[in-house]
Amino acid sequence: MVSEMQESTSSESARPNEGSSGVAVLDRAFAILNAFGPTDDHLSLAELSRRTDLYKSTVLRLLGALEHGGFIRKLSDGQYAIGPQPLRLAALYQRSFQVGPVIEPILQQLSRDLGETASLYVRQGSQRLVLFRVEPARAVRVSIRIGEEFPIDKGASGKVLLAFTETQDPRWDEVRERLWAVSHGERDPETASVSVPIFGATGELVGALALSGPKARFDMTSTITAALTTLLQCAKRATVALGGMGARFDASIASIVEKGFPANGNPDAQNPA
């Protein structure tokens, strides 16, 4: 028995990801939490070990600590799920932006009036994160989760976030000038989205306000024009409520109202007959 324990200890210490310092322990615990993807309601010990490249004994020990802290739940069938503690931290993260009371009513109005999923994205490195979202009641809709992340280089909201965080990049000059972006089938071939920026008191980017729906419902220039007009008006209202300059949106709103969405802005969009 002693020799088996010594062999196991020696074997585990030789594994690259199995450091013994406090920082290494935290890294492994975070790796376990990050092993859960957006569609993973629960994972087995074996799957967590596979995804993290850690020994089952190490994963089991860390799961016990994470369960004690409320970050992990052990289910009756022996599998593991995310616990309630991340939800509390997510609420604190949302509150740190101090935009919820302003943004949430606007998202509710957008989703109700236009019948599509309304959301606010913020940049997290090379990802865009869903900070707030409201989905419509209709059966066919774009469904996303608060806290979900997507590549920042895919989708209308990603273009807006890049345009106003990488201000020297000439690729986003047009987005910065007109204050909107549109995407059709970039992240998901069946979805489309339109997005505009929201600014704070000092002109800083607060986030990207977006409206997303099935691609088939965004196939007319008149539909996109109406969505952009409403989005820009809502972004102006939110910017003013956050202490920013609403007049920044006036030229963009006037241009969309007067000229409409340019058909060449999206090759799939059609002018109404």
| Helices of type H across the chain | 2-14, 22-34, 45-52, 56-68, 85-97, 100-114, 156-165, 173-178, 221-241, 250-259
The pLDDT confidence band at residue 9, using thresholds 50, 70 and 90, is very low
CA–CA separation, 205 and 198 (whole Å): 6
Highest mean pLDDT out of 19-33, 138-152, 195-209? 195-209
Tell me what percent of the residues of the chain surpass a pLDDT of 90: 62
pLDDT score, position 97: 66
- Return the higher-pLDDT residue of 271 and 139: 139
| Dihedral angle of Cα 87, 89, 93, 94, to the nearest 10 degrees | 30
pLDDT for residue 119 is more than 90: yes
Tell the CATH topology of 2-83.
Answer: Arc Repressor Mutant, subunit A (1.10.10)
What are the pLDDT digits (tens) for 227-256? 999 999 999 999 998 888 999 999 999 999
- Return the higher-pLDDT residue of 267 and 216: 216
Q: What are phi and psi of 210, to 5 degrees?
A: -135, 150
Structure tokens that stand for 70 in this block: 């409320």
Q: Residues spanned by CATH 3.30.450.40 within the chain?
A: 89-265
Whether the CB-CB separation of 14 and 32 falls below 8 Å is answered with no
- Return the higher-pLDDT residue of 222 and 230: 230
pLDDT score, position 163: 96
Q: Residues spanned by CATH 1.10.10.10 within the chain?
A: 2-83
Q: Is 154 exposed, middle or buried (0-12, 13-18, 19+ CB in 10 A)?
A: middle
The pLDDT confidence band at residue 265, using thresholds 50, 70 and 90, is low
The pLDDT confidence band at residue 174, using thresholds 50, 70 and 90, is very high
Return the CATH superfamily for domain 89-265: GAF domain (3.30.450.40)
What are the pLDDT digits (tens) for 62-117? 999 999 999 999 999 999 999 999 888 887 876 776 788 899 999 999 999 999 99
| Dihedral angle of Cα 187, 189, 191, 193, to the nearest 10 degrees | 50
Q: What is the DSSP string of 164-184?
A: HHSTT-GGGHHHHHH--EEEE
pLDDT for residue 7 is more than 70: no
What are the pLDDT digits (tens) for 14-35? 454 455 567 889 999 999 999 9
Please name which of 192, 232, 234, 246 lies closest in space to residue 216, comparing C-alpha atoms: 192
CA–CA separation, 226 and 185 (whole Å): 20
pLDDT for residue 182 is more than 70: yes
Whether the CB-CB separation of 160 and 195 falls below 8 Å is answered with yes
